[in-house]
Amino acid sequence: MEMTFRWFGPDDPIPLAHVRQIPGVRGVVSALYDVPVGEAWPREKLERLAATVDDAGLHVAVIESIPVHEDIKLGRPTRDRLIDAYCASVEAMGALGIPVLCYNFMPIFDWTRTDLAMPMPDGSTALAYDEAALARIDLSRGTGDLPGWATAYTAEELAALLAAYRDVDAERLWEHLAYFLERVAPVAERANVRMAIHPDDPPWPIFGLPRIVTNAAAFDRLCDLVDSPANGVTFCTGSLGADPANDLPAIARRIGARGRIHFAHCRNVALTGDRRFHEAPHPSRFGHVDFHAVLRALHATGFSGPMRPDHGRMIWGETGRPGYGLYDRALGATYLQGLWEGIAGASA
């Protein structure tokens, strides 16, 4: 297992020098954030990112992510050109030896929360989701009322996208994902890049939009779409763990036995009601994720890929990007490594 850390590029308030000081962390998870969605990533820009990370004594272990254009998810005629551009970006990754691509296939909205700074009893703040609060959000004004989405879509843009998705149910979205993977996975395999789809977060439909990568059956179906070692998943304990019906160790064993877990996001969640949760400190006793059981299952199936602490609380007065402060994620990285070492030692 390789412990990694998410870094948002030169504009990230966390310097790479601080990431370098987290014990055991040498891999960085990053992306190009200034390339418009749908355009091929210029190799020279990717080279500059890799060089910046290398100069700090680290290396780019994962690209998270190359966004999938909505026209691909919608199955529009423009998708072939957009998929060609996507393939060119994957080839640029492979040419630089960056081995893992984390991506998602969520319609319109990426991971979604209704509160970016929910006060915790210990004085920290955490990301939270409440289905009832989501239902009160008025999308007729665009995404301005949705936490974290202030400038994503105007009212007109969002209305047009929502209208387009009225004809895309879950089965049609699966068809569009298959079309995408049938063309991209062979390119990724030749480029020695492993594609790792991220489960939907939260793992259920929102705003009437289908979400399909939500559980063990969906992971199995995803792997069956294209029978290639390049076609795999990101095992995200927080996304999957938001649904109490998901048996995380069982999913890890099942998909890990297929050799298709290419990346692991480790985050704890506390379930506080039906489709209501907040994110919690990484150690198991603070939430509903049994990390010892999950990591033991990953270890038993031979997982050796990158892992990162996922969203953290904002603690010790830290400000900045909600969920992506330095301190709590650094604590998470050391906790996960200690747990992994204990499991490995017990298995020796």
Q: Which of 233, 294, 226 is nearest to 263 (CA)?
A: 233
Please give the sequence-ordered ranges of beta strands (E in DSSP) within 226-273, or none if there are none.
231-236, 261-266, 268-273
Angle between helices 248-257 and 291-300 (to 10 degrees): 10
Q: Which residue has the tokens 């202030």?
A: 150
Q: What phi, psi does 10 have (nearest 5°)?
A: -55, -25
Residue 221 is given by DSSP the state H
Q: Which of the residues 262, 278, 299, 311 is marked catalytic?
A: 311
The residue type of 162 is L
- What is the spatial distance between Cα 185 and Cα 233, in angstroms, rounded to a whole number? 12
Look up residue 7 and give its DSSP letter: -
- 69 carries an active-site annotation: no
Based on the residue annotation, tell me whether 327 is a catalytic residue of this protein.
no
3-state helix, strand, coil in the chain (%, to 5): 40, 20, 40
Return d(Cα 19, Cα 8) in angstroms, integer.
12
How, if at all, do strands 100-103 and 59-64 pair?
A: parallel
- Helix H or strand E encompassing 127: strand 125-130
In the set 265, 278, 282, 299, the catalytic residue is: 265
Clarify whether 236 is annotated catalytic. Answer: yes
> Quick check: is 198 catalytic?
yes
Distance separating alpha carbons of residues 132 and 149, to the nearest angstrom: 18
Q: What are the residue ranges of helices labelled H in 191-230?
A: 216-225
Residue from 71, 130, 310, 328 carrying the catalytic annotation: 310
Catalytic residue, chosen from 236, 266, 282, 335, is 236
Neighbouring-strand partners of residue 307: 3, 264
Identify the CA nearest to 335 among candidates 240, 236, 266, 248: 266
Catalytic residue among 69, 176, 198, 278: 198
- Let me know: does 233 contact 255? Beta carbons within 8 Å: yes
As a whole number of angstroms, the longest Cα–Cα distance in the chain is: 59
Residue identified by tokens 């990158």 is 306
Query: Would you name the residues annotated as active-site residues?
Result: 198, 236, 265, 310-311, 324
